[in-house]
Amino acid sequence: MSLTCPTYAKVNLYLHVTGKRDNGYHELDSLICFARTGDVLSFEVADDLSLDVTGPMAPLLEGDVEDNLVLRAARKLQTLCAIDQGARITLAKHLPVAAGIGGGSGDAAAAIKGLCSLWKVFPDPAGLQDLALSLGADVPICLKAHAAHVGGVGEVITPVYPLPACWMVLVNPMVGLSTPAVFKARRGDFTPDMTMQGEYDFETLVQELSVRGNDLMAPAIELAPVIETVLSALADQTGCALVRMSGSGATCFGLFENENDANSAVEQIKQAHPDWWVSHGEIF
């Protein structure tokens, strides 16, 4: 038996740091969506657990396979379900790593989903969410894989109305950023909660996002100034209604109401910056 499970880029439409817990973890206020571009995981029944990484971004994960979130998720799922079944997992890696778009988290979430199907196990939902959170703050929302407001340290997930049909262009200058380093570089006060849970068309969505921001963008730019160049490249594109950095960077995004404008932006940015990673997809 074999099966395939796609993953999608996770994007913080806005991200506010609202506090810090005694254990050092930061509390967040964020509206998260997904764009239809990402990695692909394939699973086959096997006696042992193994992971093979292919695809254009595979070289960025060389030497890191045994500690990859996919295998960590698989081992934790084995423990949760008290089973010793194996699997041969192939990860076709298309998203950049350490990029602020939940590439590793999405892969871990897809591993959990795919292996539950492969192994025919049905864990308790609460236990599965705890497992996901133990792997990283973005894994629980990637496990759900739909637009939602995320609070706490990533564990408080509140569904939102479906987002309006629109397209997102994602750009990464192929600069990896450490999330702890970005948080460490952050200065200033915490931001009050500004939860978005209304029903929006494209225009009102952009208006609401425009009065919010990403509290990690300034420290990320301090660590990787090229982010400003990426933001400018997106802002110069016809039809781009909003530009912002996602997560802790360095990936930035532009929102487009028109798919043709998004397609055109991808081609123009690729031509101007052939060393950058550029992709796009409809959001959901």
Same domain for 174 and 124, yes or no, is no
Here the tokens at position 83 are: 């089973």
Here the tokens at position 64 are: 């890191």
For the chain, report the end-to-end CA distance as a whole number of angstroms: 30
| pLDDT tens-place string over residues 218-271 | 999 999 999 999 999 999 999 999 999 999 999 999 999 999 999 999 999 999
Q: Which of 132, 158, 184 is where one domain is finished?
A: 158
SS3 (DSSP) at 203: helix
Residue 277: give its domain's CATH number: 3.30.70.890
Same domain for 136 and 218, yes or no, is no
Same domain for 207 and 72, yes or no, is no
In this structure, are residues 91 and 66 in contact, taking their beta carbons and an 8 Å threshold?
no
SS3 (DSSP) at 255: strand
Here the tokens at position 17 are: 């740091």
Give the chain's residues under pLDDT 50.
none
- Regarding pTM above 0.75, the answer is yes
What confidence score (pLDDT) does residue 67 get? 86
| pLDDT tens-place string over residues 108-127 | 999 999 999 999 999 999 99
Regarding beta strands 148-151 and 2-6, do their DSSP bridges make them parallel or antiparallel, or are they unpaired?
unpaired
Residue 124: give its domain's CATH number: 3.30.230.10
Regarding beta strands 86-92 and 26-35, do their DSSP bridges make them parallel or antiparallel, or are they unpaired?
unpaired
Here the tokens at position 184 are: 């460490």
User: How many domains are there within the chain?
Assistant: 2
Q: Which of 158, 173, 189 is where one domain is finished?
A: 158
Same domain for 234 and 95, yes or no, is no
> Range of 17's domain?
2-158
Residue 102: Cβ-neighbour burial (10 angstroms; 0-12, 13-18, 19+): buried
Same domain for 19 and 82, yes or no, is yes
Same domain for 143 and 165, yes or no, is no
Provide the greatest CA pair distance for the chain.
54
Helix H, strand E, coil C: the string for 126-139 is HHHHHHHHHHCCCH
Same domain for 103 and 32, yes or no, is yes
What confidence score (pLDDT) does residue 68 get? 94
Sign of the Cα torsion 139, 146, 209, 13 reads: positive
Closest CA to 144 of 17, 284, 4, 14: 284
What confidence score (pLDDT) does residue 64 get? 66
SS3 (DSSP) at 11: strand
Q: Which of 116, 139, 158 is where one domain is finished?
A: 158
Same domain for 121 and 176, yes or no, is no
Same domain for 201 and 250, yes or no, is yes
What confidence score (pLDDT) does residue 65 get? 75
Kindly report the average pLDDT of the chain as a whole number: 97
Q: Please, which residues bridge with residue 255 across strands?
A: 168, 242
Same domain for 141 and 192, yes or no, is no
Residues 6+ apart with CB under 8 A from 271: none
Q: Which amino acid is at 115?
A: L
In this structure, are residues 45 and 102 in contact, taking their beta carbons and an 8 Å threshold?
no
In this structure, are residues 152 and 77 in contact, taking their beta carbons and an 8 Å threshold?
no
In this structure, are residues 97 and 103 in contact, taking their beta carbons and an 8 Å threshold?
yes
Q: What distance in Å separates the CA atoms of residue 33 and residue 31, rounded to the nearest whole number? A: 7
Q: Which amino acid is at 233?
A: A
Q: What distance in Å separates the CA atoms of residue 74 and residue 99, rounded to the nearest whole number? A: 23
Q: What distance in Å separates the CA atoms of residue 101 and residue 36, rounded to the nearest whole number? A: 12
Same domain for 141 and 196, yes or no, is no
Same domain for 214 and 133, yes or no, is no
Which residues are catalytically annotated? Answer: 10, 138
Give the angle subtended at the CA of 245 by the CAs of 240 and 251, to the nearest 5°: 100
